[in-house]
Amino acid sequence: MIQEIPITHVLVLSSFLFFCGICGFIIRRNLITLLMAVELILNAVSINFVVFNKYLFPHQMEGLFFALFVIGIAAAEAAVAIALIINVYRRLGSIQVEDVAEMKY
């Protein structure tokens, strides 16, 4: 069962996912890919919630609920983000992140 896996393994996994997300967010140029990177970050956080809940407070469920919340909000956020990206594409004709630089000094 899950108790046989040490917590560090799972945490290493979530950290790996998290930094993959950060790295992708910083170095990729396509807005869709950026969105996917953000999803990775969110999933890493969800894993952390579930794991800490299971290992530290097995009789409570707040962590699980939070994970569910994160999944729900991520879905909503994806819808908003894609709508934004579509509008950016219509306006600028590109979804390359360096082209979206209107909001500067």
Partner 1 sequence: MNLSFVVLIFILPLLVFAVLGLAGMYLRPRLAGLLATGITGIVFLLSLLTAWIYFRLPVHSAGIYQPVIPVSFEWLRFSDRLVATLGILLDPVAVMMLVVVSFVSLMVHWYSLGYMQGEKGFQRYYAFLSLFTFSMMSLVVATNLVQMYIFWELVGISSYLLIGFYYTRPAAIAAAKKAFIVTRFADLGFLIGILLLSYYAGTFDFGLIVGNHASSVGVVSSSFAGLKVVEWAMLLVFMGAAGKSAMFPLHIWLPDAMEGPTPVSALIHAATMVVAGVYLIARMFPVYYFHAPAVLSLIAYTGAFTSLFAAIIACTQTDIKRVLAFSTLSQIGYMMLSLGVSGYGQQDSAGYTASLFHLFTHAMFKSLLFLAAGAVIHAVHENSILRMGGLRKYMPSTHLAFLVGCLAIAGIPFFSGFYSKEEILIAAWEHHKALFFVAWLVAGLTAFYMFRLYFTVFWGRDRYYHHPVNEAPRSMRIPLLVLSFISIVAGYVPFGRYVSAAGHFSETHFYPGIAIASVTIALIGILIAMKMYARPNAFPEKLTKKMGLFYVAACNRFYIDEGYLFITKKIIFNPIAHTVAWVDRHVVDGMVNAIAKITEEIAFRIRKMQGGQVQEYGLIMAASATGLALLLIYLATN
Which positions lie near partner 1, rule CB under 8 A?
A: 22, 25-27, 34, 97-98, 100-105
Cβ 5 to partner 1 shortest distance, Å: 25
Contact 13, 40 (CB under 8 A): no
Q: Indicate the residue among 68 and 97 with the shorter CB distance to partner 1.
A: 97
HEC readout, 26-65: HHCCEHHHHHHHHHHHHHHHHHHHHHHHHHHCCCCCHHHH
User: Closest approach of Cβ 83 to partner 1, in Å?
Assistant: 17
Q: Which two structure tokens, joined as six digits, stand for 62?
A: 């707040």
| Nearer Cβ to partner 1 (64/85) | 85
What's the min distance (Å) between Cβ of 63 and partner 1? 21
